[in-house]
Structure 1
Amino acid sequence: MENLFHEKKVNKSLTSMIFEKIREDILIGKYPSGEKIVEAKLAEEFGVSRTPVREALKQLELDGLVDNIPNRGVIVKGISSQDVEDIYTIRISIEAIAVKWAIAVKWAIDRMNDNDLQKLKDIYELMEFYTFKNDIDKIAELNTKFHETIYNATKSRYMEHVLKDFQYFMKTTRYRSLRSPGRVKNTLKEHKEILDAFIEKNKEEASKAIINHINNSRENARRTRVKTR
């Protein structure tokens, strides 16, 4: 495996980078629930000593993504069906606040500048392009960037931090959901409705569009889970 850490990222420790990489792999399903993660094997794959890997696994345990079980080792927990339900429910509440209650807290639409809006448009255009190509990986990546642009526009580091955490934990479900028939085109349509509301600076319609998108995503996630059981 290519050493991913030969160019150390600014302001990120080796442990943090390893933690993020393993977390990503768990959330996209590379390490399924119940699989054992071997510390020595990871250290060899990453081309590092076992110490930062061990620390990264401790962080993953704190995040609830793995369990360190005596006499068994580190076992992947992943994201359960109940976790998915909880995340969608909480996300609806928080993300809707980020666009709807601008009168009270001046977030999202009121704080979005021209650069933020242009970035949102650019991301949507790329989503259109990759939807035509049916490139699920790129669509999932752009989906995340689209919502993170909205989070950034709130100019609230606390709101941004919470919502970005939700994005991380939804990766497993998002990839599976986008592969179900018709979901890619519906997702594009839903993001167009969100974008149009932001262009028009219509807080009520933006809130409705986001809630509709999240509810549709949740229903699709439920259907795909049923089919894969």
Structure 2
Amino acid sequence: MRTLVKQSLVDQIYIQIRDDIIEQVIPWGKRLNVNELQDKFGISSTPIREALNRLQKEGLIEYKNNIGANVISIEEKDIIEIQEVALTLDCAAIRYSMEKGKINEMAEELLYNIKCFQESDDEIKRAESIEQFSRVFYRYAENSRLIDMSKLIKGQQSMLRSAYRKEKEGSTSIENHIKIYNSVLKKDVDSAIAFMEQEYKEATGILLNYLK
């Protein structure tokens, strides 16, 4: 368990529970008992409840009448909807960022994340590299509302990325991201978006297979 720092206690609890949900240490659909979490962390219920409220706003947990807090369950319909929304936002970020014209600076950051993926044999770090690759487009899109919208789906998408890693079992690929990078270098917006759509199509198929 992480060392808890008094001045950021809620942050520490939030990060620990969030990580456990993302990595399925706490399974999808599992009830979160406040008393059990109090015993685990050795603290009062107040910071626990504050952390759970943050996780609810992020869409990772939900409250049900007469039951309490549960990690969200993810079914086939949920995977499709999460992927559709995330793809729509990613494609918008690609288009807006490339229209801003800072192609060289953006390409340099994209390449850095590709290299981080290629040089790492840690699947979690490789997944982080892929996530940061997409984040580049959001930063260069310079659209605060687009970024805020992406944050609403980010947590649920992280849950899917964890499932994706487990299904691929060490064979994750960055081939489509390299194609996106090359499209950026060519200033070909439509091609970059097409390869991102291809990436999501392949990933959605893998996730649906994982669910089965």
Common fold, TM-score beyond 0.5? yes
Q: Which residue of 2 aligns with 1:80?
A: 75
Distance 2:60 2:2 in 1: 28
Q: Which residue of 1 aligns with 2:128?
A: 141
For residue 117 of structure 1, report the CA deviation from its aligned partner.
Answer: 2.6
For residue 214 of structure 1, report the CA deviation from its aligned partner.
Answer: 1.1
Q: Which residue of 1 aligns with 2:90?
A: 95
Bigger share in helix: 2
Counterpart contact for 2:60–2:71, Cα < 8 Å: no
Q: Which residue of 1 aligns with 2:116?
A: 126
Task: Determine whether 1:117 maps to 2:95.
Answer: no
Q: Which residue of 2 aligns with 1:30?
A: 25
Higher relative contact order (CA 8 A, sep 6+): 2
Note closer, same or farther for the CA distance 1:4–1:52 as it changes in structure 2 (3 Å cut).
Answer: same
TM-score normalized with structure 2 length: 0.83
Counterpart contact for 1:99–1:206, Cα < 8 Å: yes
Counterpart contact for 2:61–2:69, Cα < 8 Å: no
Counterpart contact for 1:26–1:78, Cα < 8 Å: no
User: 149, 153, 157: which is aligned to 1:166?
Assistant: 153
The residue type paired with residue 3 of structure 1 is T
Q: Which residue of 2 aligns with 1:104?
A: none
Counterpart contact for 2:93–2:141, Cα < 8 Å: yes
RMSD: 2.6
Counterpart contact for 1:177–1:183, Cα < 8 Å: no
The residue type paired with residue 65 of structure 1 is I
The residue type paired with residue 195 of structure 2 is A
Distance 1:196 1:180 in 2: 28
Q: Which residue of 2 aligns with 1:2?
A: 2
Distance 1:23 1:219 in 2: 25
Q: Which residue of 2 aligns with 1:215?
A: 201
Counterpart contact for 1:5–1:46, Cα < 8 Å: no
Counterpart contact for 1:68–1:74, Cα < 8 Å: yes
Note closer, same or farther for the CA distance 1:17–1:116 as it changes in structure 2 (3 Å cut).
Answer: farther
Q: Which residue of 2 aligns with 1:11?
A: none
Counterpart contact for 2:56–2:62, Cα < 8 Å: yes
Counterpart contact for 1:148–1:164, Cα < 8 Å: no
Note closer, same or farther for the CA distance 1:34–1:216 as it changes in structure 2 (3 Å cut).
Answer: closer
TM-score normalized with structure 1 length: 0.78
For residue 46 of structure 1, report the CA deviation from its aligned partner.
Answer: 4.2
Distance 1:220 1:183 in 2: 14
